């Protein structure tokens, strides 16, 4: 058992002081153990090894072996080595551990050499063992199991292809840490792949289209929408990209170009549909000379709640539609050449930019829009004044939260 560590100066028993062994060459005329005398100029047949203490004088022809912890084979010449050469032969001195330095002491020395500064050796060993225990277990298992055979058996059981079998055999040869990195990488890849698969299934369902339809209607009919065509699809896609969870789409769809392109395309298609529906409602109101209340109710068919701001926006859209209808081909050609205006909705975007430029402040814009609404009600008088007045006073608190969220998002949209 290892000796418990003791701090210097403690009362723990100390090992006995080392003794020095002296190897003495036999001299001519000396008698060895077999009774033979040593002849002059002959190699001595034996050496005597006697313990030396501090009071024992060194002999002339002695070779001292210090009792230290030096490793066998290290050379430490003694003070008397020069004198020994006069006997007719030379001898290199060598050192060896003293027999009084026990295995117990060596264990203690090795333990001390493993200890980190200011840390108990026993605690350090426990920590080191805890850090490497898993690796040791894995190494032991690897020694007991032929990993290639095990990989081949698994490949056969799972009916893998030759390529997959080879990949599994190569994986079996990796270290435990490298295996963990590879496995976690595969988990990330599987999660991403499953997200792509779920996204592709989700976006092709009626439920997904229903979830994006309401916000698209709210955007197209929003009183604050700055554009109807240029850049609208991209900004709507960015809006939905922050709300994929509410659409039932995994967030991985944002990082898959194919899936995200499909989602953006579906959003663009829905916006086109809602623009067409709004266009039909305005054209019907122009043809039928419907008042602004009827136009607003027709345009907001669905889950949206009308507000006084909607009356203003639809009156403005009806006026711009009428302007486009009476615009001459020559002017349309100039609009197309100078502003790339092709079609009714691009003309709407162009007119909105002109209005914002002519009325840069919010107060000026509100004043202008009220004038447009007054012109509309003069041309198409409201029949149901009571309902019209009630809807103008409609509290914003009655608007659904999702509609408020969409209208708040539209406020951040930019005109191209």
Q: What is the pLDDT along the chain (416 residues), one digit of tens a residue?
A: 444 434 445 455 555 555 544 444 455 555 554 555 555 444 444 444 444 444 444 444 443 444 444 434 444 444 444 444 443 434 444 344 444 444 444 445 444 444 444 544 555 455 555 445 555 555 566 555 688 888 889 999 999 999 998 998 888 888 888 888 988 888 888 877 777 777 777 788 889 998 999 999 999 999 999 999 989 999 999 999 999 988 888 887 888 888 888 899 999 999 999 999 999 999 999 999 999 999 999 999 777 888 889 999 999 999 999 999 999 999 999 999 999 998 999 999 999 999 999 999 999 999 999 999 999 999 999 999 998 888 877 656 678 888 889 989 999 999 86
* Rounded-to-integer distance, Cα 316 and Cα 55, Å: 121
Enumerate the domain spans of the chain: 206-410
The CA distances from residue 155 to 45, 144, 166, 183, 210, in Å, are 71, 20, 9, 17, 46
Torsion over CA: 110, 115, 118, 120 (sign):
negative
Q: What is the DSSP letter of 118?
A: T
So what's the pLDDT on residue 14? 55
So what's the pLDDT on residue 98? 42
- State pTM to two decimals: 0.58
Tell me how many degrees the CA angle 178-196-229 measures, rounded to the nearest 5: 135
- Do 415 and 354 contact (CB within 8 A), yes or no? no
Continuous H helices in 145-256:
147-157, 162-172, 176-202, 206-220, 232-241, 244-247
Quick one: tokens of 203? 């976006």
Find residue 62's DSSP bridge partners: 24
* Rounded-to-integer distance, Cα 165 and Cα 235, Å: 48
So what's the pLDDT on residue 37? 55
Please enumerate in sequence order all residues whose Cβ is within 8 A of that of 248, keeping only pairs 6 or more positions apart, or say none: 202, 207, 208, 211
The CA distances from residue 265 to 160, 187, 268, 287, in Å, are 39, 30, 5, 33
């Amino acid at each position: 058992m290892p000796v418990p560590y003791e701090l210097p100066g403690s009362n723990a028993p100390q090992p006995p002081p080392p003794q020095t062994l002296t190897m003495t060459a036999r001299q001519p005329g000396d008698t060895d153990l077999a009774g033979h005398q040593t002849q002059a100029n002959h190699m001595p047949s034996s050496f005597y090894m006697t313990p030396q203490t501090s009071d024992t004088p060194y002999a002339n022809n002695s070779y001292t072996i210090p009792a230290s912890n030096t490793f066998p084979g290290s050379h430490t010449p003694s003070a008397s080595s020069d004198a020994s050469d006069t006997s007719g032969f030379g001898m290199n001195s060598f050192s060896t551990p003293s027999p009084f330095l026990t295995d117990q002491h060596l264990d203690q020395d090795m333990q001390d050499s493993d200890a980190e500064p200011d840390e108990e050796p026993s605690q350090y060993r426990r920590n080191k063992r805890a850090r490497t225990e898993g690796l040791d277990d894995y190494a032991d298992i690897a020694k007991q199991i032929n990993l290639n055979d095990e990989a081949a058996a698994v490949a056969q059981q799972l009916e893998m292809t030759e390529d997959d079998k080879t990949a599994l055999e190569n994986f079996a040869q990796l270290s435990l840490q490298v295996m963990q990195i590879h496995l976690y990488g595969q988990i990330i890849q599987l999660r991403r792949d499953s997200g792509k698969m779920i996204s592709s299934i989700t976006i092709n369902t009626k439920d997904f289209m229903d979830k994006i339809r309401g916000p698209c209607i709210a955007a197209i009919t929003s009183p604050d929408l700055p554009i109807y065509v240029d850049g609208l699809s991209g900004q709507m896609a960015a809006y939905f990209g922050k709300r994929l969870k509410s659409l039932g789409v995994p967030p991985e769809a944002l990082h898959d170009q194919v899936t995200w392109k499909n989602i953006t395309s579906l959003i663009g298609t829905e916006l086109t549909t809602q623009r067409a529906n709004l266009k039909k409602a305005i054209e019907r109101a122009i043809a039928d000379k419907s008042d602004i209340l009827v136009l607003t109710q027709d345009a907001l068919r669905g889950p949206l709640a009308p507000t006084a701001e909607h009356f203003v926006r639809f009156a403005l859209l009806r006026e711009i539609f009428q302007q486009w209808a009476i615009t001459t081909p020559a002017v349309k050609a100039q609009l197309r050449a100078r502003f790339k205006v092709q079609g009714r909705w691009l003309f709407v975007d162009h007119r909105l930019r002109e209005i914002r430029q002519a009325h840069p402040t919010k107060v000026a814009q509100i004043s202008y829009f009220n004038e447009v609404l007054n012109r509309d009600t003069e041309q198409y008088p409201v029949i149901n004044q009571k309902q019209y007045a009630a809807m103008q006073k409609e509290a914003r608190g009655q608007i659904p939260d999702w509609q408020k969220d969409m209208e708040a998002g539209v406020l951040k949209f930019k005109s191209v």
